[in-house]
């Protein structure tokens, strides 16, 4: 019945229906609640994680779509606000307001910077389509720049 799922480097045996969205496997089965539910229709990005490094919305992505060899990284799998350059920039600039969208926002930005270490405005706009109802976008843009600089200088 069960299958394997690799999250943040750890292999889990999960025993849930294969059509269960990955989001709910992460949250309710594995207890990784940093990844959020916002819309359930892939429209907001609150549920964004990395699958083999690619920013992926998980609220309507069935568990079956993830291969047993694939690597899922959630916000809990990043190095934290003192070491991960994106999280560090987020903390330094106090980006989060309510904070609910920010796990997904940060995961999108991690993927963006992996692809474009020095992203243009257009690349940021195209790469970060997560919705923030609080409207933190100006701080998000500033934090992306700061994280990009820190990554380049490192």
Interface residues with ligand FES (CB under 6 A)?
37-40, 42-47, 57, 59, 96-102, 132-134, 136
Nearer to another protein by C-beta: 10 or 69? 10
Give the helix/strand (H/E) hosting 13: strand 10-14
**Does 148 help bind another protein (rule: CB under 8 A)?**
no
Nearer to ligand FES by C-beta: 5 or 107? 107
Nearer to another protein by C-beta: 9 or 69? 9
DSSP assignments along 106-126, one per residue: HHHHHHHHHH-SS--HHHHHH
Residues contacting 93, CB < 8 A, separation 6+ = 139, 142, 143, 146
Residue-level length of the chain? 154
What is the distance between the alpha carbons of residues 139 and 99, in angstroms, rounded to a whole number?
A: 12
Residue 77, CB-side half-sphere exposure with 13 Å CA sphere = 21
Cβ at position 16, least distance to ligand FES in Å: 18
**Does 138 help bind another protein (rule: CB under 8 A)?**
yes
Q: Of the candidates 98, 115, 118, 120, which one interacts with another protein according to CB under 8 A?
A: 98
- Binding residues vs another protein (CB under 8 A): 16, 20-21, 24, 27-29, 31-41, 43-44, 46, 74-76, 78, 80-81, 87, 90-92, 94-103, 106, 121-122, 124-126, 128-141
């Amino acid at each position: 019945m069960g299958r394997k799922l690799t999250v943040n480097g750890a292999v889990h045996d999960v025993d849930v229906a294969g059509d269960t969205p990955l989001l709910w496997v992460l949250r309710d089965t594995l207890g990784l609640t940093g990844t959020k539910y916002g819309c359930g229709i892939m429209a907001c990005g609150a549920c964004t994680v990395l699958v083999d490094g690619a920013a992926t919305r998980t609220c309507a992505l069935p568990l079956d779509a993830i291969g047993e060899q694939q690597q899922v990284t959630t916000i809990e799998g990043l190095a934290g606000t003192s070491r991960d350059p994106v999280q560090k920039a987020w903390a330094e600039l106090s980006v989060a307001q309510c904070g609910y969208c920010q796990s997904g926002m940060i995961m999108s930005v991690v993927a963006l910077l992996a692809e474009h270490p020095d992203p243009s405005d257009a690349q940021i706009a195209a790469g970060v389509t997560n919705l923030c109802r609080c409207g933190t976008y100006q701080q998000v843009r500033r934090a992306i720049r700061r994280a990009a600089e820190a990554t380049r200088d490192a």
